[in-house]
Amino acid sequence: MGVARYIKDEKDRINDVILQSGIRVKPLYTEDDLKEAGFDYSKDLCNPGEYPFTRGIHRLGYRSREWTTRQYSGFGTPKETNERWKLLISQGQTGLNVAFDLPTQMGYDSDDPMAEGEVGRVGMAVDSLRDFEIAFKDIDMGKIGSGLTINAIASIMVAMYQATAEKYGFSKQQISCTPQNDILKEIVGRGAWIFPVEPAVRLIGDVIEYSVREMPRNNPVSVCGYHIREAGANPVQEIAYAIGIANAYIDEVLKRGLHIDDFVARFSFNLDVFGNLWEQVAKFRAARKLWAKNIKEKYGAKNEKSMFLRGIFGGGGGGLTKEQPENNIVRSAYYALAAALSGAQTTALCSYDEAYTIPTPHSALISLRTLQLLMEEVGLRDTVDPLAGSYFIETLTKQMEEKIVEEIKKIDRLGGMVKAISAGYIQKEVARQAYEFEKGVQYGEFIKVGVNKYSGGEQGEVELHEYSDESAKEQIKGLKELKRTRDNREVARTLKELEKATKEKKNVMPYLVDCCKAYATVGEMTGVFRDIFGEFVEPSIF
C-alpha cells in the first residue's frame, strides 16, 4: 500500500520507517512497548462492542453480519444509471452509492449554460423528481439503502429521495439514505460548494433535524475525512479534521434544542483507505475510540449507540495510478483487506480504471468480487478484530490516538473547525502536505510501484468510457419536455413557499419535498437559496 518513507543503507537494508503520520516504526515490538505507551486493556481496548469500541462497535463483528458493499456508481442519464445499479445488485451488491454529475452537484440544471459539456460526465444528471423516478425504478427502496454523494444541495436530494420513495409506495419511515451532506470538507478538499459557511451549515442542520423527526432510518450526514485525505492531509489530520467537522454540525443541531442522544447515533463517516496497511488499521481503531470519548465526555451522551463511529471505509482513489493500471486491482484488494481488518461496517473500492475513466461494468464487478472474496474465501469474517493484542498494532494505535488528540487541540486553539476553515488554515495545511507528498513521489522518497520504481514492462490497456453528447442532449430534451408539461403554477407556488420559509429561517425540508413533488427543478430550488444566501468566496490561503 506504500506511503511511508523508508530509509535504507547501501545494501538495501531498512534502517528506518517513517509513516505519513510522523510515527517511526521500530523493527521489533514487545510487551515493553505497550508498557511504555501506557496501554491499559480496560481503558484502551476492552471487548468488541464495549466502550470505547476500539475493537469495533458490534460484539460479534462480521460473524453476525457481513459488511455492506456499496460501490460508487452513476453516469450519464438516469436510465443508464438504473441499468448499472441493477447489474450490481444482481451480482450481490447490498447498497447503492449514487454519483451525481458536476452540474447537479453545483445546483445547475442540464440546460444551464454553466452545465455545457459536463452533463452526465462524472455522474448521473439529475434535474427533477422525474430523473429520480427513472433512476430508482424497480429498486426496492424499503430494503436497499442509498448513499447520496452530494453536499451543497444535499437537502434537495434528500427531499427528492423521499418524494420518489413515496411515489413508489415506500413511506418516509421505511427508507434509508445517507447523503454526504458535508460542506465543510468540500471547502477544504473538493471545491463543490455554493453557499457561504453559515447558511450552508444551517442547511445541514435542517437535514439532520428533519431526519430525526420524520425519517428515522436516515443517516443525515456522512462526515468525509476521505476527501480531505485524498486532497493531501495525512492520516492523523484526516481523523482530527473529521471529528472537528462533525462537532461543528453537532453544535448547530444542539442550538435547536435537541439532545445529543436524539440525533448523533445517525451520524456516519466516510474515511479513506490509502497508505500503509498498519497505519490504516491503527487509524481506524484510534478513530473509533476518540469518537466515543468525544461524544461521551464532551457532549454528555448516555446512549452507547450514540458513541458508535459508523461509516464507510474504502475507496483509496488517491493510491491508484495511471501507470500499469492492472496493479490497481492488487492495490484495491489490500485496501479492502485494511478496511476489513479495521472493522468497517460498509466498504467500497475505487475500480482499477478510475484513474482514467468511469468504471466499466467489468472493472466495477472486479471491485465487488474483491470484497466478496474477502468475505467468502479468505476468512475475514472468522473472528472479531484479529489483530487485537499485537504489540505493534496496540502500540501504533496508542501513538495514533495521541497524535490525533494533539491535532484536535490545535484546531480548538484556533476557535474550532468552522473558524479554522473560514480563515483558510485547514486548506493551507492540506495544500502544503499535498505538495510535499507529490514532491516525495517525484524524488522517490515515497515509492509507487510502476511509477517511480519497477516502471518497466508492458502497460495494460484500459477501456475508456466515452462521454456521450447524445446522452446529454437526451437529458436536456427531457428537461424541456418536463417544464412544458408540468403544472407551472404549482411550481411557482411551492418555490414561493420555499423562499418564504428560507427567509424566516424555518426548516426548509418540508418545503423542498413539496417543490420536488411539483417537479420544480434542482436549478430552480437552488436558485432560491442562491438569491437569499449568496455564494461562498474562498479565502486567500497563500
The label of the residue with cell 493510491 reads: 319
Using an 8 Å Cβ cutoff, are 158 and 110 in contact?
A: no
Computed on alpha carbons and rounded to an integer, the radius of gyration of the chain in Å comes to: 23
Q: Which of 227, 134, 125 has the alpha carbon at shortest distance from 180?
A: 227
pLDDT at position 34: 95
pLDDT at position 1: 53
Task: Pick 4-69+180-442's CATH classification: 3.20.20.240, 3.40.50.720, 3.30.300.30, 3.40.50.880.
Answer: 3.20.20.240
Distance CA 105, CA 120 (A): 11
pLDDT at position 73: 81
List, for the chain, all residue ranges whose pLDDT scores fall below the cut of 70: 1-2, 464-465, 541-542
Q: Which residues of 432-441 are buried (b: 16+ CB within 10 A; e: fewer)?
A: ebbeebeebb
| CA 394 vs CA 21, 98, 154, 344: distances in Å | 16, 36, 38, 18
Cell numbers found for residue 518: 411539483
Using an 8 Å Cβ cutoff, are 476 and 119 in contact?
A: yes
pLDDT at position 278: 97
pLDDT at position 282: 97
Any residues with CB less than 8 A from the CB of 426 and at least 6 apart, and which? 188, 228, 241, 411, 417, 420
pLDDT at position 457: 74
DSSP structure class, residue 265: G
Using an 8 Å Cβ cutoff, are 115 and 475 in contact?
A: no
Taking residue 295's Cβ as centre, other Cβ atoms within 10 Å add up to 26
Distance CA 55, CA 48 (A): 5
Using an 8 Å Cβ cutoff, are 532 and 196 in contact?
A: no
Using an 8 Å Cβ cutoff, are 172 and 165 in contact?
A: yes
pLDDT at position 542: 55
pLDDT at position 2: 59
Helix or strand or coil: residue 177? Answer: strand
| CA 524 vs CA 205, 472, 491, 492, 494: distances in Å | 22, 19, 9, 10, 11
pLDDT at position 299: 98
pLDDT at position 94: 84
3-state secondary structure 318-351: HHCCCCCCCHHHHHHHHHHHHHHHCCCCEECECC
